């Protein structure tokens, strides 16, 4: 077995999804958000993901920007902040420029220097992903950015993971797939990828029948792991 391509989920894996709420909470006039931002950020992310799963199950697909807005509205409503239109707009604007985690540029650069192909595979809409990649300065370190919009269904549908093998003309066992979502790492393992779960929060492992190859706390070891497989 030889890894040829290293593929990363985007949100929560390369990009810090809590940053929008955290940064907005530090701004002048955000006293109410300052008290609630950790819960709001967690609720926003949870509902965003839940809406992708439900839409995949029902076949009622919409783009990731729509479920991102819907998830935020639920989170704002839960905190009694739904009527603050300026806050909503600010949080959504910040989501387009989420920062990459500190180790991301170095990891991607090391993988490219070692001869691996690199890519993003994400639920994100193409315009959202392009904005995030540009904002974080990662464009030169990625061979492609693959979005579920080309198949019209969210993860964990097999059609999404097939985008990688089709794009890079490889077999699943030649792909190292990295995600911060345990369910995503498990589904990708079931598809046939070698998977790494970046468990930054220290969560329990999902019971889905396809455990990841390895669990990490951040992305730093990935180049060495890719070379060793």
Residues identified as active-site: 9
Among candidate residues 33, 18, 44, the one with its CA nearest the CA of residue 80: 33
**Distance between first and last Cα of the chain:** 7
Strand order through the sheet with 5-8: 144-147, 117-122, 5-8, 175-179, 194-198, 214-216
| Cβ proximity of 55 and 67 under 8 Å | yes
Structure tokens at 209: 């029948």
Transcribe 143-187 into DSSP letters. Answer: SEEEEGGGTT--TT-HHHHHHHHHHHT--GGGEEEEES-HHHHHH
DSSP assignment letter at 59: T
Distances (CA, A) of 40 to 37, 54, 107, 214: 5, 21, 30, 30
List, in sequence order, every residue forming a beta bridge with 11; answer none if it has no partner.
15
């Amino acid at each position: 077995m030889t890894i040829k391509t290293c593929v990363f989920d985007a949100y929560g894996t390369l990009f810090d999804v809590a940053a929008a709420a955290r940064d907005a909470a530090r701004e002048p006039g955000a006293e109410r958000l300052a008290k609630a931002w950790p819960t709001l950020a967690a609720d926003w992310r949870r509902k965003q993901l839940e809406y992708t799963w439900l839409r995949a199950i029902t076949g009622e697909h919409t783009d990731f920007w729509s479920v991102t807005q819907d998830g935020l509205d639920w989170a704002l409503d839960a905190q009694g902040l739904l009527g603050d239109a300026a806050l909503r707009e600010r949080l959504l604007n910040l989501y387009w420029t989420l920062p990459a985690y500190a180790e991301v540029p170095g990891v991607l650069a090391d993988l490219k220097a070692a001869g691996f192909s690199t890519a993003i595979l994400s639920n994100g809409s193409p315009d959202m992903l392009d904005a995030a990649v540009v904002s974080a300065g990662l464009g030169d370190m990625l061979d492609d950015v693959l979005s579920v919009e080309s198949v019209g269904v969210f993860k964990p549908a097999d059609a999404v993971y097939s985008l990688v093998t089709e794009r890079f003309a490889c077999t699943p066992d030649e792909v190292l797939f990295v995600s911060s979502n345990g369910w995503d790492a498990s589904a990708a393992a079931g598809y046939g990828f070698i998977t790494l779960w970046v468990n930054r929060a220290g969560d329990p492992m999902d019971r889905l029948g396809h455990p990841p190859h390895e669990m990490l706390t951040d992305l730093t070891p990935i180049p060495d792991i890719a070379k060793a497989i």
